[in-house]
Chain A
Amino acid sequence: MTEPIPTGTAASLQEHTASGRTTTAATVDSALARARDVNAGREGLNIFVALDDSYLQDHATVSATQLTDTEPGLLLGVPVAIKDNIATLHHPTTCGSLILGGYVSPYEATVVRRLREAGAVPFGKTNMDEFAMGSSTENSAYGPTRNPPAPDRVPGGSSGGSAAAVAAGIVPIALGSETGGSVRQPAAFCGIVGVKPTYGRVSRFGLVAFASSLDQVGVFGATVDDAARGLRTIAGHDPLDSTSALLDVPDYHLAHRRSVKGMVIGRPKEYFPESLDPRMRARLDVALEHLRELGAEIRDVSLPHTGLAIPVYYIVAPAEASSNLARFDGVRYGLRIGGDGLKGMYEATRSKGFGPEVTRRIMLGTYVLSAGYYDAYYRKAQRVRTLIADDFSRVFASGVDVLFTPTTPTPAFPIGAISDPYEMYMSDIFTATANLAGVPAMSQPIGRVGGLPVGGQLLAAHFQEEKMFSVAYALERALGVGASS
Chain B
Amino acid sequence: MAASLRADWEMVVGLEVHVQLRTRSKAFCACSCEYGAPPNVNTCPVCLALPGALPVLNGRAVELATRAALALNCTVHPVSVFARKNYFYPDLPKGYQISQFDKPLATDGYVEIARSDASPMRVGVTRLHMEEDAGKSIHDRFPGATAIDLNRSGVPLIEIVSEPDMRSAEEAGAYLRVLKQILEYLDVSDVSMEEGSLRVDANVSARRRGAAKLGTKTEVKNMNSFSGVERALEVEFVRQVGVLASGGTVQQQTMLWDAGAGEVRPSRTKEGSHDYRYFPEPDLPPLVLADEWIDRVRHDLPELPADRRRRFATDYKLGEYDVNVLTASSRVSDYYEAVARAHRDPKVAANWVMGEVLAQLKGSAADIDTFRVRPQDLAGLLDLMRDGVLSHTAAKQVFAGMVATGDPAAQIAEREGLVKVDDDAQLAAWLDEVIGELPTEAERFRAGEKKLQGVLIGAVMKKSKGRADPRKLNQLLAARLGS
The stretch among B93-101, B257-265, B435-443 that forms the contact with chain A is: B93-101
Interface residues of B in 284-298 (CB under 8 A from A): 284-285
Number of CB contacts from chain A to chain B under 8 A: 102
Interface residues of A in 25-45 (CB under 8 A from B): none
Distance between Cα atoms of A85 and B52 in the complex (Å): 8
- Contact with A323, one of B56, B84, B93 (Cβ below 8 angstroms): B84
Contact of B88 with A329 in the complex, beta carbons under 8 Å: yes
Q: Is A358 among interface residues, defined by CB-CB distance under 8 A?
A: no
Minimum C-beta distance from A318 to chain B (A): 12
Minimum C-beta distance from B455 to chain A (A): 82
Q: Is A464 among interface residues, defined by CB-CB distance under 8 A?
A: no
Question: Are A95 and B51 CB-contacts (below 8 A) given A323-B277, A332-B93?
Answer: yes
Q: Is A87 among interface residues, defined by CB-CB distance under 8 A?
A: yes
**Nearest CB to that of B55 among chain A residues?**
A242
Contact of A327 with B279 in the complex, beta carbons under 8 Å: no
Minimum C-beta distance from B403 to chain A (A): 48
Minimum C-beta distance from B8 to chain A (A): 37
Contact of A370 with B275 in the complex, beta carbons under 8 Å: yes
Contacts of A204 in B (CB 8 A): 52, 54
Contact of B54 with A241 in the complex, beta carbons under 8 Å: yes
- Contact with A327, one of B94, B148, B275, B282 (Cβ below 8 angstroms): B94
Q: How large is the interface on A (under 10, 10 to 19, 20 to 34, 35 or more residues)?
A: 35 or more
Contact of B282 with A320 in the complex, beta carbons under 8 Å: yes
**Nearest CB to that of B90 among chain A residues?**
A331
Minimum C-beta distance from B354 to chain A (A): 49
Minimum C-beta distance from B27 to chain A (A): 12
Distance between Cα atoms of A242 and B282 in the complex (Å): 10
Q: Is A206 among interface residues, defined by CB-CB distance under 8 A?
A: yes
**Nearest CB to that of A325 among chain B residues?**
B95
- Give A204-215 as 1s and 0s: 1 = Cβ < 8 Å from B's Cβ atoms: 111111011100
Q: Is A240 among interface residues, defined by CB-CB distance under 8 A?
A: yes
Contact of B279 with A374 in the complex, beta carbons under 8 Å: yes
Q: Is A55 among interface residues, defined by CB-CB distance under 8 A?
A: no
Question: Are A333 and B284 CB-contacts (below 8 A) given A239-B56, A319-B279, A327-B94?
Answer: no
Contact of B279 with A323 in the complex, beta carbons under 8 Å: yes
Contacts of A87 in B (CB 8 A): 51-52
Contact of B88 with A346 in the complex, beta carbons under 8 Å: yes
Minimum C-beta distance from A338 to chain B (A): 12
Q: Is B283 among interface residues, defined by CB-CB distance under 8 A?
A: yes
Question: Are A208 and B51 CB-contacts (below 8 A) given A326-B94, A346-B88?
Answer: yes
Contacts of A95 in B (CB 8 A): 51
Question: Are A106 and B50 CB-contacts (below 8 A) given A323-B95, A323-B279, A326-B96?
Answer: yes
Minimum C-beta distance from A103 to chain B (A): 7
Interface size on B, residues (CB 8 A): 28
Q: Is B376 among interface residues, defined by CB-CB distance under 8 A?
A: no
Distance between Cα atoms of A239 and B52 in the complex (Å): 15
Distance between Cα atoms of A329 and B55 in the complex (Å): 20
Distance between Cα atoms of A374 and B148 in the complex (Å): 33
Minimum C-beta distance from B145 to chain A (A): 11
Contact of B90 with A205 in the complex, beta carbons under 8 Å: no
Q: Is B86 among interface residues, defined by CB-CB distance under 8 A?
A: yes
Contact of B51 with A369 in the complex, beta carbons under 8 Å: no
Contacts of B48 in A (CB 8 A): 332
Contact of B84 with A242 in the complex, beta carbons under 8 Å: no
Q: Is B57 among interface residues, defined by CB-CB distance under 8 A?
A: yes
Contacts of A323 in B (CB 8 A): 84, 86, 95-96, 277, 279
Contact of A371 with B90 in the complex, beta carbons under 8 Å: no
Contacts of A241 in B (CB 8 A): 54, 56
**Nearest CB to that of A378 among chain B residues?**
B279
Contacts of A93 in B (CB 8 A): 51-52
Question: Are A329 and B95 CB-contacts (below 8 A) given A323-B86, A323-B277?
Answer: yes
- Give B36-53 as 1s and 0s: 1 = Cβ < 8 Å from A's Cβ atoms: 000000000100111111
Contact of A243 with B275 in the complex, beta carbons under 8 Å: no
Q: Is A366 among interface residues, defined by CB-CB distance under 8 A?
A: yes
- A interface, over-half SS: loop
Distance between Cα atoms of A213 and B96 in the complex (Å): 17
Distance between Cα atoms of A240 and B54 in the complex (Å): 7
Q: Is A100 among interface residues, defined by CB-CB distance under 8 A?
A: yes
Contacts of A417 in B (CB 8 A): none
Contacts of B282 in A (CB 8 A): 211-213, 243, 320
Minimum C-beta distance from A100 to chain B (A): 7
Distance between Cα atoms of A322 and B275 in the complex (Å): 14
Question: Are A105 and B50 CB-contacts (below 8 A) given A326-B86, A331-B90?
Answer: yes
Distance between Cα atoms of A371 and B84 in the complex (Å): 14
Distance between Cα atoms of A346 and B278 in the complex (Å): 21
Question: Are A243 and B285 CB-contacts (below 8 A) given A107-B45, A323-B95, A327-B93?
Answer: yes
Distance between Cα atoms of A319 and B95 in the complex (Å): 14
- Give B54-92 as 1s and 0s: 1 = Cβ < 8 Å from A's Cβ atoms: 111100000000000000000000000000101010100
Distance between Cα atoms of A346 and B90 in the complex (Å): 10
Contact of A326 with B88 in the complex, beta carbons under 8 Å: yes
Q: Which of B51, B90, B94, B282 has the most CB of A within 10 A?
A: B51
Contact of B283 with A327 in the complex, beta carbons under 8 Å: no
Interface residues of A in 420-456 (CB under 8 A from B): none
Contacts of A378 in B (CB 8 A): 279
Contacts of B95 in A (CB 8 A): 323, 325-327, 329
Distance between Cα atoms of A103 and B52 in the complex (Å): 12
**Nearest CB to that of A379 among chain B residues?**
B279
Q: Is A109 among interface residues, defined by CB-CB distance under 8 A?
A: yes
Contact of B90 with A105 in the complex, beta carbons under 8 Å: no
Distance between Cα atoms of A103 and B48 in the complex (Å): 14
Contact of B56 with A209 in the complex, beta carbons under 8 Å: no
Interface residues of A in 288-333 (CB under 8 A from B): 319-320, 322-323, 325-329, 331-333
Minimum C-beta distance from A363 to chain B (A): 13
- Give A351-373 as 1s and 0s: 1 = Cβ < 8 Å from B's Cβ atoms: 00000000000000010011100
Distance between Cα atoms of A329 and B148 in the complex (Å): 14
Q: Which of A93, A239, A323, A332 has the most CB of B within 10 A?
A: A323
Minimum C-beta distance from A118 to chain B (A): 20
Minimum C-beta distance from A91 to chain B (A): 14
Q: Is A342 among interface residues, defined by CB-CB distance under 8 A?
A: yes
Q: Which of A95, A109, A206, A319 has the most CB of B within 10 A?
A: A206
Q: Is A86 among interface residues, defined by CB-CB distance under 8 A?
A: yes
Distance between Cα atoms of A331 and B49 in the complex (Å): 11
Q: Which of B56, B57, B93, B283 has the most CB of A within 10 A?
A: B283
Contact of A206 with B96 in the complex, beta carbons under 8 Å: no
Contacts of A109 in B (CB 8 A): 52
Contact of B52 with A333 in the complex, beta carbons under 8 Å: no
Contact of A242 with B57 in the complex, beta carbons under 8 Å: yes
Distance between Cα atoms of A354 and B96 in the complex (Å): 19
Contacts of A240 in B (CB 8 A): 54, 56
Q: Which of B278, B282, B285 has the most CB of A within 10 A?
A: B282
- Give A102-137 as 1s and 0s: 1 = Cβ < 8 Å from B's Cβ atoms: 010111010000000000000000000000000000
Distance between Cα atoms of A378 and B284 in the complex (Å): 18
Q: List 26 A-B contacts (CB under 8 A).
A: A85-B52, A93-B52, A95-B51, A103-B51, A105-B50, A105-B51, A107-B45, A209-B52, A209-B283, A212-B282, A242-B55, A242-B56, A242-B285, A243-B283, A320-B279, A327-B51, A331-B148, A332-B148, A346-B88, A366-B277, A369-B86, A369-B278, A371-B275, A371-B277, A374-B279, A378-B279
Binding site for B on A (CB under 8 A): 85-87, 93, 95, 100, 103, 105-107, 109, 204-209, 211-213, 239-243, 319-320, 322-323, 325-329, 331-333, 342, 346, 366, 369-371, 374, 378
Besides the known contacts A328-B51, A369-B86, 12 further A-B residue pairs in the complex with CB atoms under 8 A apart: A107-B50, A208-B51, A212-B283, A241-B54, A241-B56, A243-B284, A322-B86, A323-B277, A327-B51, A331-B148, A332-B148, A374-B278
